[in-house]
Structure formats: C-alpha cells, structure tokens
Amino acid sequence: MAMEDKHNLKDNKELQPLLVFGPPIIFPTFEAQNSHNYRFLKAFSSQDPLHQFLTEQKVDPSSIQAILCNPAQKVSADVIRFLPSLRIIVTTSAGTDHIDLVECSRHSIQVACAAGDHAGDVADMAVGLLLDVLCKISAADRHVRKRGPSMPLNVFFGSKLKGKRVGIVGLGKIGTAVAERLEAFGCSMMYNSRKEKAFISYPFYSNVVELAGDSDVLVLCCPLNEETRHIVNREVMLALGKDGCIVNVGRGGLIDEKELVQCLMEGEIGGAGLDVFENEPIVPTDLFSLDNVVLSPHASSLTSDSLDESYKLSAEALQVFFSSN
Amino acid sequence: MAMEDKHNLKDNKELQPLLVFGPPIIFPTFEAQNSHNYRFLKAFSSQDPLHQFLTEQKVDPSSIQAILCNPAQKVSADVIRFLPSLRIIVTTSAGTDHIDLVECSRHSIQVACAAGDHAGDVADMAVGLLLDVLCKISAADRHVRKRGPSMPLNVFFGSKLKGKRVGIVGLGKIGTAVAERLEAFGCSMMYNSRKEKAFISYPFYSNVVELAGDSDVLVLCCPLNEETRHIVNREVMLALGKDGCIVNVGRGGLIDEKELVQCLMEGEIGGAGLDVFENEPIVPTDLFSLDNVVLSPHASSLTSDSLDESYKLSAEALQVFFSSN
C-alpha cells in the first residue's frame, strides 16, 4: 500500500461515518462537496444485507449515528434496531413513508426531510397534469408526432378548467399551493383532510366518497399512511364518475391501482394524471394504450431548483447535528 | 320525382341561401338544427371554383347575403367581389386573418366572430403548454410508455414556474387571462402590445427584442397581421436565450418557423410549446425528435364547452341578421 493511500485510509477512518441508502440524486454533489467531513458507507452499491456490508467495510454498527437516504429503499425497524447509535435520518424526500417512524420515535431518532420548499414544484406538476389530461396535450402531441407532417385536425376536444369543482385530498402545503393556482383558472375548491382547517373557507368533507361525488376532479396530495392507503378505492372512483379526473402527486398507494386501471379502461372515470404509482418503479402497462392518462415518472419534485435546495438542506441538517453532538 | 321531394325542393329554394366554407366543426350540429331556416350551399364539398359550384347548384351569386366559415379556407377579395349582396360573414374562429377585412370594410360587410368566450380556453392551453415544457410532462409520458413496465428514474429535471419572468406578446383578452393564471404560480409579468395599456402595472416593452432579453418565457397571443408577422424572428430568439421558452397560442405566422426549428435544434432556445404552425396543417417534422417541444394541433379553443358556445353564437348572429334585413 502506497503512503498516500495509507494516509487517506487513516483520514477516512477518522471521518464521521455516514450510511447512505438510495442513493439520493444529489449524492454525487453531496459526496464531492463533503468528502472531508464524512466517510461514506455506500450501502446502495452492495447487494449484501446491511450487517454483511458493514462487516466487509470493517465498520462497527454502533459507530453509525446518521443515515442519508431517499425513498428508494426502506429504513425498516430491523435496520434501525441494528444501529444502536443511530440518531438522525436525513431523507431527501418530502414523504417519510419509507422510514419506520414508530421505531424512530421509540429510539428518539430525528428524521429530517431535506426536500426543500418543494410544495410549489409539486403543485406546478399537479396543475400541469390536470391541464394535460383536460386539454389532452400529451395525447395530441403523441398523435402529431405519429401522424407525420400533416397534423390531425379536430380530433382532440378538451374541456375548460373554469367552473370545474376540484376536490383536494390533503390540504397541507402542497394542497394549498394547488388550490391557489387553480383558483386563478376559475375552479371552485373543496377538500378532505384529517380534520377541518380553521380559516379555510373551502367546503370540508370528512368523507372522500362524498367529496368525489361533488367533484369533477380529485387531486391527491396527502401523505401515505395506514389511514390514507387506498383512500381512493372503486367506490370513490364510481362516485367521481365517467367525466371525472384524478390527479395523483402524493403517493401511489393512495389509490387502489388495480381498480384505477380497471375504471380507466372501462370508462368509469374520465382520465388520470399520475406522477406516482403503487409499486414503483413498476407502471401498469395496461395504461400505455390509453389516451386519457398522463404518466409521469415520480418527477414532480425533480426540478433543478429543488435539487439545489435539497442538497443545501441535507448538508446543513447533518452539519448541525454533528457539530452539536 | 315523388311529391315529397318536389315539396322539399320548393321549400329548399325559398330558404335563405347560406354559403358554407370550411366547414366549421359545429356545422353538422348547425345543419341539423337549422335545416328549416337555410338552404346550405356546401362549397367545402366541391373541388370546383366558387362560380362553377354556384352555377351547378343553380344559385344566383347575387342571392347570397351570408357566409358561414372557419379559418380553413380564405375568404378572399375575389370571393367577396363575386357576391354583390354579401352582407355578413360569420366565422367560428376568434381570428379573422383568413378574411380580407379591407374588402369587407369597402363593401360594408359585417364580420362576426362566433368563437365564444374562448380566451379562457386558449389561456388554459397556453399555461398547459408552458407547464408541459418546463415540467417535461409529454416527454416523460412518452418515455414511460416507450420504456415498458419499469419507469425511467431521475431522467427528467424540470424547472419551477415560481420567479419566471414571462413576456406576453399581445395583452388582449387571451394575454390577460394568461397573466391572471401565471400570477398564481409566482411568475412576474411584462408585455408587448401595439401600445401601452392604461391601468396595467406590468412593465410595457415597445420592442420585442428587449422584452425577450428580459424574459425567461415568451407567450404569443396577439393577432396575426402585417405588423406582427414574424414578430418573433431569430434576433428575438437569441435575445430570449438558451434557457428561454416560447409558447405560441396565437398564429403560426407570428414566428419565423424556419428559424424557430433551427434555434430549437441548435439549442439556441430552451424549448417551445406550439399550438399553431406557420403552414397548417403542415407541422415541421424536424421537431418530432425533440423532447423540449410540445406539439398541439391548433386545439386550444376546441373544448366541448366552447363548441357549444360557438354554435349558439353563430346561429344567433345569422338569425339576428336575417330577421332584421
């Protein structure tokens, strides 16, 4: 071993170990900017179980205080219990359904979401998907490109947003940003949430079937948890009706996807704009032949601006943690 | 000839002749609802020149007082001069660049646009195209469908609308509706128009190159005329710059299309959302391979709601004309 390598190795061992799952999209930047702060344990680069990976890396599990992750891999109760000194999990997502929060709470582990102010980005995507489905933009673009030099005339009759009744499921930051945008188009808003919000004048529905029954469009932007899993089931879709449209920028599991595919194929609902899917990265191929569906690969928060922000927040969260511990 | 046919023929000849060009999309409805009011002279169903068509139909050109048309066929000075009793042209479009307005004015011929309140529809499409280009929705949808069951991850990094500087070319009804919508996304607005508008606080630019230089996005929604033809030329596009985006919901001729294709292919501008083309129905096939372009077949005002409105307005305009003449 050359002197330089030895030196690096020594330095590397003295750095704070940071266990990395995923990896987050920002990881290459993170690694380049922080190689003097952390020893990166790239669990994502190994197929082995965590304990074996750490043994191979000659890392004592009890030396690990921090995880950096994205939602691509679960941080399960088993993982958490295997790392007795774990104190912080930084995820570059806004959602935390990939992390066992109960186990985190039990062990006083801090969970930091370093997704930045991504509510606006997701709301942009939600409105973009809705406009795309209603104005049939992607479908028309696809047909123009297929058709060749002469454009298909008078094939695509969209519908206008003005006057549409929009039911927002989950009126948090994202839902509110969606509502602000859609008000400017002349839509009327109503919502479902865990509980009625003070100071919000939109009609509140405690029952999602009733909300769907009164809506032309459902926009899903609540977190996924045991209460919200399959919050949109067949009954909700039938209540929404044949001209109704669903936009999902929350999590795939909010919808019973098998029923969604069925309802779209049978024309029981009018259309859907989907940024998320129940079993990502799997997208139901039955949807590929449908023109009333717009498919987006969980890209709503992937703006270059958000990624910059996400990097800054992750770096800051870890720096603050290590400097105060 | 059976008695019934004779009877119909007689009735038919006593009806007001209505010369129909195009035909407008609403024509089947119009015909079905108004067969007791008009004798429809379907010029669109004949390849012959107008004079020959009318001779074949045994119609005296001087008996024709009204035309119903869409923008698919020009109503030229020759046509207008050939019909000495022409008094009204009803077009189902908002634009009138297919009609020789100078000749109409010379002969005191009324031109009625029966496109309904389509400003909102076109504005919806403008914002939809902009969101689609910035969030890369159609491109991503295309790639998801091509790729098969496993979605492409982290390929599409869009950008957010918040903070974007939008230059609106033509701040009429449509431009204003676009601005109202984009304000809700946190964009800042500026505009070019024939002259500065009173009571509008957005910065006014008399020069489109300067407007483009200060904008991230140009939205074109002015009418096409000799002053606005190629209002967006290469110089404007270079001023807009490599990250800049153009949305055109006005008329194709507002942009020098050859230069647009060139600038898009060379990366001199960042992207475009195009509902209109210079030589419709021809779409430049060079655009088909580009992911930063969204192509829409002049569909912005083709919502089912607008068509209902357009039918009502056309029928009403003609009814009012004939009942008062």
pLDDT at B3: 44
Confidence of residue A45 (pLDDT cuts 50, 70, 90): very high
Q: Which of A128-137, A277-286, A293-302, B270-279 has the lowest mean pLDDT?
A: A293-302
Distance between CA atoms of residues B276 and B255, nearest Å: 10
Please report the sign of the dihedral spanned by the C-alpha atoms of residue A276, residue A279, residue A281, residue A284: negative
Question: Which residues of A are less than 8 Å from B138 in CB distance?
Answer: 132, 137-138, 141-142
Question: Which residues of A are less than 8 Å from B300 in CB distance?
Answer: 135
Distance between CA atoms of residues A39 and A322, nearest Å: 13
Cβ <8 Å between B132 and A127: no
Q: State chain A's mean pLDDT as an integer.
A: 92
Q: What is the mean pLDDT of residues B71-77?
A: 92
Q: Nearest-CA distance from A122 to chain B in Å?
A: 9
Number of neighbouring beta carbons within 10 Å of residue B32: 8
CB A297 within 8 A of CB B144: yes
Of B73, B57, B72, B47, which Cα lies nearest the Cα of B18?
B57
DSSP B22: S
Cβ <8 Å between B134 and A125: no
Structure tokens at B142: 């295309």
Q: Which among B135, B297, B305 has the least Cβ separation from residue A124?
A: B135
CB A22 within 8 A of CB A45: no
Q: pLDDT at residue B182 above 60?
A: yes
Say how many CB pairs under 8 Å bridge A and B.
208
Confidence of residue B7 (pLDDT cuts 50, 70, 90): very low
Distance between CA atoms of residues B91 and A155, nearest Å: 20
Interchain contact B146–A (C-beta under 8 A): no
Considering only the top CATH level, what class is A3-117+304-323?
A: alpha beta
Distance between CA atoms of residues B125 and B247, nearest Å: 10
Helix (H) / strand (E) element for B146: namely helix B137-147
Confidence of residue B155 (pLDDT cuts 50, 70, 90): confident
Distance between CA atoms of residues A286 and A313, nearest Å: 39
Q: Which among B158, B298, B303 has the least Cβ separation from residue A159?
A: B303
Please report the sign of the dihedral spanned by the C-alpha atoms of residue A206, residue A209, residue A210, residue A214: positive
Confidence of residue B5 (pLDDT cuts 50, 70, 90): very low
Of A139, A192, A129, A202, which Cα lies nearest the Cα of A161?
A129
CB A172 within 8 A of CB A186: no
Q: Nearest-CA distance from A86 to chain B in Å?
A: 29
Interface confidence, given as ipTM, is 0.78
With a pLDDT cut of 70, the percent of chain A lying above it is 95
Q: Which among A132, A154, A156 has the least Cβ separation from residue B132?
A: A132
Interchain contact B65–A (C-beta under 8 A): no
Interchain contact A135–B (C-beta under 8 A): yes
pLDDT at A1: 41
With a pLDDT cut of 90, the percent of chain A lying above it is 84
Domain A119-295 annotated CATH 3.40.50.720: yes
Nearest chain A residue (CA) to B126: A131
Question: How many angstroms separate the Cα of A89 from the Cα of each of A84, A317, B190?
Answer: 13, 10, 44
Q: What is the mean pLDDT of residues A58-67?
A: 96
Q: Which of A2-6, A298-302, B41-45, B246-250 has the lowest mean pLDDT?
A: A2-6
Q: pLDDT at residue B154 above 50?
A: yes
Question: Which residues of B are less than 8 Å from A129 in CB distance?
Answer: 137
Q: Give yes or no: B251 in active site.
A: yes
Structure tokens at A267: 């024309």
Q: Which of A286-295, A304-313, B307-316 has the lowest mean pLDDT?
A: A304-313
Q: Which of B98, B257, B298, B309 is catalytic?
A: B298
pLDDT at A225: 94
With a pLDDT cut of 90, the percent of chain B lying above it is 84
Q: Nearest-CA distance from A143 to chain B in Å?
A: 9
CB A151 within 8 A of CB B297: yes
Q: pLDDT at residue A7 above 50?
A: no
- How many alpha carbons fall within 13 Å on the CB side of residue B192? 25
Q: Which of A251, A257, A259, A278 is catalytic?
A: A251
Q: Which among A186, A281, A294 has the least Cβ separation from residue B120?
A: A186
Q: Which of B118, B251, B257, B309 is catalytic?
A: B251
Q: Give yes or no: A107 in active site.
A: no
Of A23, A43, A26, which Cα lies nearest the Cα of A313?
A26
Q: Name residues whose C-beta falls within 8 Å of residue B269's C-beta, 6 or more positions apart in sequence.
A: B237, B240, B241, B242, B244, B245, B246, B260, B263
Q: Nearest-CA distance from A176 to chain B in Å?
A: 12
**CATH 3.40.50.720 intervals, chain B:** 3-117+304-323, 119-295
Question: What confidence tens digit (pLDDT) does each residue in A87-107 have?
Answer: 999 999 888 999 999 999 999
Cβ <8 Å between B157 and A307: yes
pLDDT at B153: 78
Scan residues 196-215 of A and list those with Cβ closer than 8 Å to B.
none
Question: What confidence tens digit (pLDDT) does each residue in B262-273 have?
Answer: 999 999 999 999
Question: What confidence tens digit (pLDDT) does each residue in A228-273 have?
Answer: 999 999 999 999 999 999 999 999 999 999 999 999 999 999 999 9
pLDDT at A111: 96
Q: State chain B's mean pLDDT as an integer.
A: 92
Cβ <8 Å between A135 and B128: yes
Task: Note the maximum CA span of chain A.
Answer: 73
DSSP per position, A260-324? HHHHHHTTSS-EEEES--TTTTB--GGGGG-TTEEE--S-TT-BHHHHHHHHHHHHHHHHHHHHT
